[in-house]
Amino acid sequence: MAKFTAKPNELSKIDYTPPKTHWLETPVEIREHMFCHAAKPKDLETVGFPYGREWRPNDEDWKLPENWKTIIFEGMRSLLKKYRSFQVFMDICVRCGACADKCHFFLGSGDPKNMPVLRAELLRSVYRGNFTLAGKILKKLAGARKLTANVLKEWWYYFYQCTECRRCSVFCPYGIDQAEITMMGRELTNMLGLQIGWIAGPVANCYMKGNHLGLEPHTITSSMEFFLDDIETITGIKIEPTFNRKGAEILFVTPSGDLFANPGTYTAMGYLMLFHELGLDYTWSTYASEGGNFGFFTTNDMAKRLNSKIYAEAKRLGVKWILGGECGHMWRVVHQYMDTWNGPADFLEEPVSPITGTRFDNARATKMVHIAEFTADLIKNSKLKFDLSRNDHLNVTFHDSCNTSRGMGLLEEPRYVLKSVCNNFYEMPEDTIREKTFCCGSGAGLNASENMELRMRGGFPRANAAKYVHEKYGVNMCAAVCAIDRVALSTSFEYWVPGVAVCGLHELVGNALVMTGEKERTQDLRLEPLPGKEVAE
Amino acid sequence: MPMMDFQGKQYEIDEDGYLLNLDDWNKEIAGHIAKLEEIDMTDAHWEVITFLRDYYQKYQIAPMIKILVKEIGKVMGPDKGNTKYLYELYPGGPAKQACKIAGLPKPTGCV
């Protein structure tokens, strides 16, 4: 495969003119750098997904099982029956087009099939032809079409060009949730073994080893040792966290990316420092060592299986409640699905902060509190001391992660924390933040490297907003409460807006946190000199 | 399954040219992959490769860059213990390019 070499000035020339032919007569063209590699058969077999085989998306022959159409129709019938939402979303769209220009992939590519309305229509047309009377009789006149191998390819190509970010649904007058449609589309393609490697690998890893990266217990603790060494270098304080400790009050779960990928590792250092300073009675787990849930990008059932591990571990350790780290889709799963799948978690207690006594009644059902809420509450109750000047080398903006903003309404808490630990905070334009935030461009399991053109196109609207505050206010740091954001935005900004780095919220908390018994700090969590301490270095 | 031909033998690789079997690796094939990547291997390059292999044997994953930087600083001297130096050795990135030459798989997930 040729390397992706397109420069930003080429990629930003976006042609919004639709093709001359009707969309039904415009066959899908599977282009390099726009799709992910196929899943490895062994990863599908690990979790019992069907039809694992060697195939390549740009091959003519996808080696489909002979009865693939029957599998799809039966699958669709069963999904329609099981999910009322799916049935409703197939029926109610009036094609007003309010969603059309709200999708980051459409804005970045100009491909009309990335308009959410048309992406959904790819599936609806087949639904009409086979599940509605009008479609069966009137066929094309009623917007129906037949299912063919090319239609299936089109589904696959475009359902893996949607990050399930749900920005379009904010603007839909009917509230149609495009993510739910993409999820059904992916369930269907998964029935034929058409999964992508970047999702199947982490799912298999998480199922077997407890986290997406496949970190084994000794790898996790050794990685943590490095963070603890650095923290000691920076603060003079030696921290000794515990792992798999029965009887701890709180289980802490965060995405494994925080333990192994920059810049998430600095966020992990921030967590460690905060919990130490509080004297929090908590434990890490090397089994439930993943907050994220790539199963959510395959089938609801797989997501449920992976989610259950966190609760099984909480039960095994006998903790009272669960504190969750800075992850995106973890929170959509916890907030909107967990209770239906694996709830009620009535063996746990309604979370109460042991430091402030605040009862998190919003987490009554799931018993899981987001760390931004937890920290915001600490600050509100004056339990933490900060030296804001330690973040003075940073002009910070905040990227709302799709899943925490639109999926759980976490809008104020991260901002409150940021403003409490930084002197220089600037918002990106209104239409690109909070509920209307733009996706990083690489969510829902699309943060691979072979689909780099897709990622950069999808990341363009967010990067464009970052560029605005970079030029206007000199913003040089973007905070985000999601591990995919932290790696995806790092790549996207390096491409579109060099000079804006990415960090987690708790990296900045760790920088500013005044710890009991610490030495005079000269370095930030990246071991870079603090403002005014450059000479001392 | 894509294959790589080298010295009359065929090796299984993934779509991006990473060896699939850890045990297929030896210095010769590493040199071959390095050539394909247009890297002139020096002692410093091998130092990174050896560390990556050893780390992988122990932990079943490629080390994070932080660990690699520290280790190289220890072995090659403090002035070499930084990301910049690693990128000078492997312009394609120590994670991607050096892992490929070391015969390690690509990491996946939120990375």
- In this structure, the answer to whether residues A337 and A244 fall within a common structural domain is yes
Determine the pLDDT at residue A198: 95
In a domain, A521, yes or no: no
- Rounded Cα distance, A463 and A481, in Å: 17
Mutation target vs B (from A35, A206, A213; most B CBs, 10 A cutoff): A213
A524-533: long-range pairs with CB below 8 Å, 24+? A524/A234, A524/A390, A524/A391, A524/A393, A525/A230, A525/A234, A525/A266, A525/A269, A525/A270, A526/A263, A526/A266, A527/A230, A527/A233, A527/A234, A528/A393, A530/A390, A530/A393, A531/A389, A531/A390, A531/A392, A531/A393, A532/A389
Query: How large is the angle between the packed helices A371-380 and A505-512, nearest 10 degrees?
Result: 30
- Mean pLDDT computed over B64-91: 89
> Do A188 and A256 share a domain, yes or no?
no
Contact A237, A515 (CB under 8 A): yes
CA angle A360, A361, A367 (to 5 degrees): 75
Check CB contact of B15 with chain A, cutoff 8 Å: yes
Q: Which of B15, B67, B109 sits opposite A213 (nearest CB)?
A: B109
Q: Is residue A125 assigned to a domain?
A: yes
Mean pLDDT of A343-369: 96
**B107 pLDDT above the threshold of 70:** no
Chain A residue at shortest CA distance from B69 = A226
- Distances, alpha carbon A463 to alpha carbons A33, A239, A307, A353, in Å: 19, 37, 32, 37
pLDDT (tens digit, 9 = 90+) per residue, A22-44? 999 999 999 999 999 999 999 99
Residue/partner pairs of B28-37 with CB below 8 Å, 24 or more apart: B29/B103, B30/B101, B30/B102, B30/B103, B32/B6, B33/B100, B33/B101, B33/B103, B34/B101, B37/B92, B37/B97, B37/B100, B37/B101
Superfamily of domain B3-101: DsrC protein, C-terminal domain (1.10.10.370)
C-alpha gyration radius of chain B: 14
Query: What percent of chain A is modeled with pLDDT above 90?
Result: 98
SS (H, E, C) A377-390: HHHHCCCCCECHHH
Domain boundaries, chain B: 3-101
Q: Which domain holds residue A491?
A: 202-512
B108 touches chain A (CB under 8 A): yes
**Residues A181 and A119 placed together within one structural domain of the fold:** yes
A36 within domain boundaries: no
Write the pLDDT tens digit of every residue in A227-262.
999 999 999 999 999 999 999 999 999 999 999 988
Interface membership of A486 toward B (CB under 8 Å): yes
Helix (H, G, I), strand (E, B) or coil at B110: coil
CB atoms within 10 A of CB B57: 9
- A337 and A476 share one domain: yes
**Considering only CB atoms, which chain A residues are within 8 Å of B1?**
54
* CA dist B8 → B26, B29, B100 (Å): 15, 12, 21
Contacts for B54 with CB less than 8 Å, ≥ 6 apart:
none
Q: A401 near A328, Cβ under 8 Å?
A: yes
Please give the Cα distance from A247 to A264 (Å, whole number): 28
Residue A327 has pLDDT above 90, yes or no: yes
Rounded to the nearest angstrom, the minimum Cα separation between A471 and chain B is 26
Average pLDDT along chain A: 96
Note whether A296 and A406 are same-domain residues: yes
Task: Report how far residue B24's alpha carbon sits from residue B32's, in angstroms, rounded to the nearest whole number.
Answer: 13
The total number of structural domains in chain A stands at: 2
Interface touch A257/B111, C-beta < 8 Å:
yes
CB contact under 8 A, B107 and A213: yes
Contacts with A307 (C-beta within 8 Å, 6 or more apart), sequence order: A293, A295, A333, A334, A337, A338, A341, A342
Q: Are A19 and A26 in contact (CB under 8 A)?
A: yes
Average pLDDT score over residue span A451-465? 98
Q: What average pLDDT score do residues B95-104 get? A: 92
For residue A330, give every residue at least 6 positions away whose Cβ sits within 8 Å of its Cβ, in sequence order, or none. Answer: A253, A255, A291, A292, A293, A324, A403
Claim to verify: residue A451 and residue A506 sit in the same structural domain: yes
Give the tokens for residue A520. Answer: 């005079």
Contact A212 B108 (CB under 8 A): yes
A176 and A218 in a single domain? The answer is no
pLDDT of residue A537: 44
Q: Cα–Cα distance between A454 and A431 in angstroms, integer?
A: 22
A289 and A244: one domain? yes
Residue A348: both structure tokens together = 């746990």
| Residue A204, pLDDT score | 97
- Collapsed DSSP state (helix, strand, coil) of residue A102: helix
Per-residue pLDDT reduced to its tens digit, A207-221? 999 999 999 999 999
Distance between CA atoms of A91 and A382, rounded to whole angstroms? 52
**Residue A283 domain flag:** yes
Q: Tell me whether residue A528 is in a domain.
A: no
Q: What is the mean pLDDT of residues A106-132?
A: 97
Q: Is B107 on the interface with A (CB under 8 A)?
A: yes
Distance CA A177, CA A190 (A): 20
pLDDT for position B109:
59
Q: Are A284 and A235 in a shared domain?
A: yes
What mean pLDDT do residues A370-394 have?
98
Distance (Å) of CA A8 to CA A5, A11, A481, A496, B41: 10, 5, 26, 6, 32
**Residues of chain A neighbouring B15 (CB-CB closer than 8 A):** 1, 37, 56, 450
Looking at residue B2, its pLDDT comes to 85
Are A475 and A500 contacting, i.e. CB atoms less than 8 angstroms apart? Answer: yes
**What is residue B93's predicted lDDT score, i.e. its pLDDT?**
85
Options B38, B84, B110, B111, the catalytic residue? B110
Which CATH number do you get for residue A137? 1.10.1060
Q: Decide if B110 and A264 are in contact by the 8 Å CB cutoff.
A: yes
* A445 vs A277: CA distance, rounded Å: 35
Q: With an 8 Å Cβ cutoff, are B60 and A214 in contact?
A: yes
Q: Which residue has the higher pLDDT, B74 or A316?
A: A316
**Residues 234-263, chain A: which have Cβ within 8 Å of B?**
255-257, 260-262
Residue B108, pLDDT score:
65
Based on the fold, state whether residues A467 and A332 are members of the same structural domain.
Answer: yes
Q: pLDDT tens digit string along B22-74?
A: 999 999 999 999 999 999 999 999 999 999 999 999 998 998 888 888 888 98
Please state the rounded mean pLDDT for residues A445-462.
97
Across the interface, whether the CB atoms of A450 and B15 are under 8 A apart is answered: yes
Which of A194, A223, A244 terminates a domain? The answer is A194
Please tell me if residue B8 touches chain A, with a CB cutoff of 8 Å.
no
Average pLDDT over residues A415-442: 98
Domain shared by A153 and A228, yes or no: no
* Domain end marker among A194, A227, A252: A194
Interchain pair A292, B70: CB under 8 A: no
Cα→Cα distances A320→A250, A347, A348, B4, B21, Å: 6, 8, 5, 54, 44
pTM above 0.90, yes or no: yes
The verdict on A461 and A362 lying in the same domain is: yes
Contacts of A59 in chain B (CB under 8 A): none
Q: Is B110 designated active site?
A: yes
Q: Which of B1, B61, B108 sits opposite A198 (nearest CB)?
A: B108
